[in-house]
């Protein structure tokens, strides 16, 4: 049996992923430091989980349900076991039994444990795992999985979320994940102008560039070591151990090269099944999902149906907002309750409205499970309330920017949940920054720019049919966990000579945490050489990589640990000079006293010393929403305003996003380069949902589980992104005063693009993605 030390990859991740580029001059917070993993990724030598290898390796494969809803009558694994090279086949019967002593598939989930690792008795969505195989070759494993004979009794699939209220339970827990009846103000209030709308948001998939992959290695103590692209190593470790029926300390999870993550990186069934096969065979087992499997394995954005009615006075000030919000959570709960809380709380957007009546539901269907994805809940409602404001502007003859200014939220204003917005809320300033930014040139002004028209050069369209539209949108997202979720992270900083090491289990999923951690230590200690250790579950808990929490919570833990080391370093120096530590500063690699008498290089002060400290960061607590949707549920909020410029061929319905201008509330720009990169990526993400991305289903079956069928934006679909303003009004309760930056542009971009298409065509545009038929005039 191989040991964990036998694992190898083409390049050592710890040596490459955190190596500081030799020509990187920027130093400390506020500088545009290059990402620590930029060079190896650009060179193609960055190691991912799919690159791992171990002596005696077996390959895993999964059999998935071809039906969205069926009863499992019988499973015959004999044909698979009869194939040469097959070492094990596992089903729900091989997992620990449930509370009643009978197999239940070891259900798990990030919030509610309702999703079986391997289907037991019933399959509830297309692609649900039913059995898994380990063999000595990947082709043999897939052939063996396909040879397992499963007898199904087909059941009626519920694919329409509106039907979920009226059909028998699809799961013992019922069909309703959550209902939030949000009520504030006078329910009888009526405005002088009333507009209504029905809006739909499709199913956006994360579609990561790298599909799910991992390696499981059995341990001598009967445990298992998992090498995965996890975004929550401790949560995944604990849930995996519970599903396997072993103690958490017998499961070690090593995070290996996350190839980008905009949602939960893997569903738990993948890693538990991988571990189960390794334990059953006593050999390392590797699994790399095909692209089609990847679409079935991970969660996607919640499809939504939203009905809105806005009341306003003659000046355009909001009087009352009524809404019904329905999120399709798919077959299992995942984070539907959390997404619904955001949808309900942000149902009015960054605007002041005294009277709000919202009913929000998240329901179970036989569609693919929905889960965490940038701005879950907030994105769906942003599209709806911004579309409503555009309607009001037209009805009242008010400029779309002006109607937003008249209702803009400011610091101290209440949300519909009754929570006061205590963080900076510079909504009006963001709108002003957008308004002052110059517009791009018209394409026909440049005869060489024919390719910029929708359809490109020589397209079927007539240039005379091109109409330009300008649209505006403003949105908001919450940061960190909500409704009483305990947010905590731990970090250790060690200094030896002129070299520092950061140990923190915060996974860098592309948001640049490793770079930020280096910059923090550089700023606090004046040490240029900072190494960020690879992440595994043996380190202290840091929590999941979601909602910008690592900048705040894990960055805060790193800063506190570095400050403790700083005190250890400066205390003896201050004592020698008869002054307090507070009278010494560290800047530009030098320790200097307030009076200028002392000036010592940090390297000299650290010579021969080894210092370390461990610290935690835990933001102030929140509370769950009550039965009326009221409560202080969020730690802080980030805001963004956006202007989209589109060209639309009104005869063909072709849409090209020409330009997106962004003004964003960032609190403090810790790394301007990374902020701009993250905003550009988030805009591309939002444009994808606005025009292209839709994981289509029919009666619960996924129809386009491939990168040819599921359309992603390419470089030619991505617009010019201009930053009109990064407003740095620090949030006093946040670490460094900084706010998360990548979620809110993704929330706002679809609404802004839809507004621009609406302006170009005069059509209502009530669904995302916008199809060609939605943009054809006449």
Task: List, as one string, the DSSP characters of 724-758.
Answer: EEEE----TTSGGG----SHHHHHHHHHHHHHHHH
Phi, psi dihedrals of residue 529, rounded to the nearest 5°: -90, 105
Residue 423 has pLDDT above 60, yes or no: yes
Q: Decide which of 443 and 647 is more confident.
A: 647
pTM of the model: 0.92
Mean residue pLDDT of the chain comes to 90
Beta strands in 598-675 (DSSP E): 599-601, 610-617, 634-649, 654-665
Give, as one character, the DSSP assignment of residue 102. S
pLDDT value at position 265?
60
pLDDT band, very low/low/confident/very high, at 606 (cuts 50, 70, 90): confident
Interstrand relation of 654-665 and 720-727 (parallel, antiparallel or unpaired):
parallel
What is the per-residue pLDDT for 100?
86
**Tokens read off for 563:** 């400050």
Structure confidence at residue 20 (pLDDT): 42
Higher per-residue confidence, 416 vs 455: 416
Q: Report the pLDDT value the prediction gives residue 2, as an integer from 0 to 100.
A: 37
pLDDT tens for residues 744-767? 999 999 999 999 999 999 999 999
Highest-scoring range by mean pLDDT, 45-49, 373-377, 509-513, 637-641 = 637-641
Contacts for 627 with CB less than 8 Å, ≥ 6 apart = 181
Per-residue DSSP letters for 100-165?
A: TSS-----B-SSS--B-SS--SEE-STT-EEEEEEESSHHHHHHHHHH-EEEEEE------GGGGG
**Residue 432: pLDDT band with limits 50, 70, 90:** very high
- Alpha helix segments (H runs only) across 367-412: 378-396, 400-407
pLDDT the model gives residue 264: 54
Separation of alpha carbons 86 and 138, rounded Å: 10
Residue carrying structure tokens 């799961």:
171
Q: How many CB atoms lie within 10 A of CB 197?
A: 18
Our measurement of the distance from residue 764's CA atom to the centroid of its chain's CA atoms, rounded to an integer in Å, reads 29
Residue 550 in this model has a pLDDT that exceeds 90: no
Q: Strands (DSSP E) along 368-485, which ranges?
A: 466-482
* β-sheet bridge partners, residue 25: none
Per-residue pLDDT at 458 = 58
771 pLDDT above the threshold of 70:
yes
CA distance 749 to 731: 24
Exposed / middle / buried, residue 516 (Cβ in 10 Å: 0-12, 13-18, 19+)? buried
Q: How close are the terminal C-alpha atoms of the chain, in Å? A: 70
**How are the residues of the chain apportioned to helix, strand and coil, as percentages rounded to the nearest 5?**
30, 25, 45
Closest CA to 355 of 323, 394, 332: 323
The conformation of residue 322, written as its DSSP 8-state character, comes to: E
The answer, yes or no, to whether residue 28 has pLDDT greater than 50, is: yes
Average of per-residue pLDDT across 197-209 = 93
21 confidence band (pLDDT: 50, 70, 90): very low
Q: Any bridge partners for residue 641, and if so which?
A: 474, 663
Q: Of all residues in the chain, what percent carry a pLDDT higher than 90?
A: 67
In the sheet where 599-601 sits, what is the strand order? 584-587, 590-593, 599-601
Identify the helix (H) or strand (E) that includes residue 152.
strand 149-154
Inter-residue contact 514 to 18 (CB < 8 Å): yes
Q: What is the pLDDT of residues 69-122, one digit of tens each?
A: 999 999 999 999 999 999 999 999 999 998 888 899 999 988 889 999 999 999
Torsion of CA 119, 120, 122, 123, to 10 degrees: 0
The token pair at 630 is: 């009221």
Predicted pLDDT of residue 277: 97
* Per-residue confidence band for 56, with pLDDT thresholds at 50, 70 and 90: very high
Of 670, 751, 732, 726, the closest CA to residue 426 belongs to 726
For residue 716, give every residue at least 6 positions away whose Cβ sits within 8 Å of its Cβ, in sequence order, or none: none
pLDDT given for residue 24 in this prediction: 44
The confidence score (pLDDT) of residue 604 equals: 83
| Closest by Cα among 514, 425, 509, 518 to 744 | 425
Residue 168 pLDDT exceeds 50: yes
Q: What is the DSSP letter of 333?
A: -
pLDDT at residue 443, rounded to an integer: 65
pLDDT for res 34:
77
CA distances from residue 664 to 2, 178, 259, 414 in whole angstroms, order as listed: 51, 32, 26, 21
25 pLDDT band (50/70/90 cuts)? low
- What's the pLDDT tens digit per position in 216-257? 999 999 999 999 988 889 999 999 999 999 999 999 999 988
Q: What is the pLDDT of residue 16?
A: 38
Pairing of strands 193-201, 767-768: parallel
CA distances from 304 to 89, 218, 723 (A): 38, 43, 30
Confidence check: pLDDT of 183 > 90:
yes
Contacts of 622 (CB under 8 A, 6+ apart): 481, 482, 483, 484, 485, 631, 632, 633, 634, 635
Sign (positive or negative) of CA dihedral 274, 277, 283, 287: negative
More confident residue, 538 or 450: 538
pLDDT at 29: 77
* Average pLDDT score over residue span 40-59: 88
In this structure, of 429-433, 596-600, 655-659, 694-698, the range with the lowest mean pLDDT score is: 596-600
Mean pLDDT value across residues 55-79: 97
Q: Dihedrals φ, ψ of 654, to 5°? A: -75, 135
CA nearest 414: which of 356, 458, 467, 500?
356
pLDDT in tens, 339-357: 999 999 999 999 999 999 9
Task: Report the distance separating Cα 138 and Cα 143, nearest Å.
Answer: 9
pLDDT over threshold 70, residue 583: yes
Cα R_g (the chain), whole angstroms: 27
- Has residue 267 got a pLDDT over 80? no
Digit-coded pLDDT (tens) for 664-721: 999 988 888 889 988 999 999 999 999 999 999 999 999 999 999 999 998 888 999 9
Confidence at residue 332, expressed as pLDDT on a 0 to 100 scale = 96
Does the pLDDT value for residue 1 go beyond 70? no
Q: Give residue for tokens 């199809």.
A: 771
Q: Encoding tokens for residue 505? A: 């289990």
| In the predicted structure, residue 167 carries a pLDDT above the cut 80 | yes
Please, which residues have CB within 8 angstroms of residue 605's CB and are 6 or more apart in sequence? 569, 573, 591
Check: CB of residue 361 under 8 Å from CB of residue 178.
yes
pLDDT at 712: 92
Cα(119)–Cα(104) distance, integer angstroms: 8
Distance CA 515, CA 457 (A): 42
Per-residue pLDDT tens digits for 210-221: 888 999 999 999
Higher pLDDT, 212 or 403: 403
Residue 203: CB atoms within 10 Å: 21
Q: Is the pLDDT of residue 769 over 60?
A: yes
Residue 547: strand, helix, or coil: coil
pLDDT given at position 42: 82
Residue 660, both tokens: 């997106």
Residue 765 phi, psi (nearest 5) = 50, 80
pLDDT of res. 435: 95
Residue of higher predicted confidence among 600 and 502: 502
Q: Answer whether residue 446 shows pLDDT above 70.
A: no
124 within 8 A of 331, measured Cβ to Cβ: yes
**Which residue, chain included where needed, has tokens 């009905």?**
307
């Amino acid at each position: 049996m191989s040991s964990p030390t036998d694992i190898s990859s083409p390049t050592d991740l710890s040596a490459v992923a955190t190596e500081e580029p030799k020509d990187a001059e920027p130093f400390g917070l506020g500088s545009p430091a290059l990402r620590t993993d930029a060079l190896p990724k650009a060179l193609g030598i960055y190691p991912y989980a799919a690159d791992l290898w171990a002596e005696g390796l077996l390959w895993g494969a999964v059999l998935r349900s071809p039906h969205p809803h069926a009863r499992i009558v019988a499973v015959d694994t004999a044909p698979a076991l009869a194939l040469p090279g097959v070492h094990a086949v596992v089903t729900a019967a091989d997992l620990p039994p449930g509370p009643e002593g009978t197999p239940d598939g070891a259900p798990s989930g990030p919030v509610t444990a309702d999703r079986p690792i391997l289907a037991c008795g019933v399959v509830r969505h297309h692609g649900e795992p039913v059995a898994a195989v380990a063999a000595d070759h990947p082709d043999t494993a897939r052939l063996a999985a396909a040879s397992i004979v499963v007898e199904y009794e087909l059941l009626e699939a519920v694919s329409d979320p509106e039907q979920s209220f009226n059909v028998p339970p699809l799961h013992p827990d019922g069909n309703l994940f959550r209902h939030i009846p949000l009520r504030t103000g006078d329910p009888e209030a009526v405005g002088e102008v009333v507009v209504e709308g029905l809006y739909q948001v499709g199913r956006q998939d994360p579609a990561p560039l790298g599909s799910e992959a991992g390696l499981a290695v059995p341990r001598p103590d009967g445990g298992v070591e998992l090498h995965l692209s996890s975004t929550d190593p401790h949560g995944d470790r604990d849930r995996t151990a519970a599903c396997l029926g072993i103690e958490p300390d017998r499961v070690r999870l090593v995070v290996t090269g996350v190839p980008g993550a905009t949602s939960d990186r893997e569903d738990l069934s993948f890693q538990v099944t991988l571990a189960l096969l390794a334990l059953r065979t006593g050999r390392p087992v590797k699994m790399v999902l095909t692209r089609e499997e990847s679409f079935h394995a991970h969660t996607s954005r919640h499809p939504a149906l939203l009905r809105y009615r806005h009341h306003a006075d003659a000046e355009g000030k909001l009087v009352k907002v009524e809404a019904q919000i329905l999120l399709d959570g798919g077959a299992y709960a995942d984070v539907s309750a959390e997404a619904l809380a955001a949808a309900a709380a942000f149902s009015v957007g960054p605007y002041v409205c005294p009277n709000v009546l919202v009913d929000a539901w998240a329901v179970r269907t036989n569609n693919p499970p929905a889960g965490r994805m940038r701005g879950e809940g907030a994105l769906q409602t942003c599209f709806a309330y911004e579309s409503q404001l555009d309607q009001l502007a037209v009805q009242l003859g008010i400029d779309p920017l002006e109607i937003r200014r008249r209702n803009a939220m400011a610091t101290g204003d209440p949300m519909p949940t009754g929570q006061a917005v205590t963080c900076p809320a510079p909504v009006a300033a963001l709108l002003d920054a957008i308004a002052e930014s110059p517009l791009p040139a018209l394409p026909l002004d440049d005869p060489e720019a024919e390719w910029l028209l929708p359809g490109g050069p020589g397209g079927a369209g007539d240039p005379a049919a091109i109409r330009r539209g300008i649209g505006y949108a403003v949105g908001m997202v919450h940061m960190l966990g909500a409704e009483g979720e305990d947010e905590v992270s731990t970090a250790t900083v060690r200094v030896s000579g002129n070299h520092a090491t950061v140990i923190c289990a915060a996974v860098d999923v592309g948001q640049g945490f490793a770079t930020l951690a280096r910059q923090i230590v550089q700023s606090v200690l004046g040490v240029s050489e900072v190494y960020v250790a690879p992440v595994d579950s043996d380190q202290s808990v840091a929590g999941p990589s979601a909602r910008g929490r690592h900048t705040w919570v894990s960055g805060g833990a790193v800063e506190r640990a570095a400050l403790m080391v700083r005190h250890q370093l400066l205390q003896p120096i201050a004592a020698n000079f008869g002054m307090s530590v507070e009278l010494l500063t560290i800047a530009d690699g030098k320790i200097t006293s307030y009076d200028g008498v002392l000036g010592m290089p940090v390297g000299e002060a650290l010579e021969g010393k080894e210092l370390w400290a461990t610290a935690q960061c835990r933001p102030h607590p929140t509370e769950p929403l009550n039965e009326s949707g009221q409560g202080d549920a969020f730690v802080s909020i980030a805001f963004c305003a956006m202007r989209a410029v589109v060209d639309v061929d009104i005869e063909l319905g072709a849409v090209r996003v020409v330009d997106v201008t962004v003004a964003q509330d960032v609190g403090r720009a810790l790394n301007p380069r990374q902020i701009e990169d993250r905003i550009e990526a988030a805009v591309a993400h939002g444009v994808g949902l606005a025009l292209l991305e839709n994981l289509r289903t029919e009666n619960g079956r996924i129809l386009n589980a491939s990168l040819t069928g599921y359309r992603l934006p390419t470089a030619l679909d991505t617009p010019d992104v201009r930053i009109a303003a990064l407003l740095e009004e620090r949030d006093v309760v946040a670490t460094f005063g900084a706010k998360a930056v990548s979620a809110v542009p993704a929330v706002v971009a679809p609404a802004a693009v839809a507004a621009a298409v609406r302006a170009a065509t005069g059509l209502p545009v009530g669904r995302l993605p916008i199809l060609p038929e939605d943009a054809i005039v006449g």
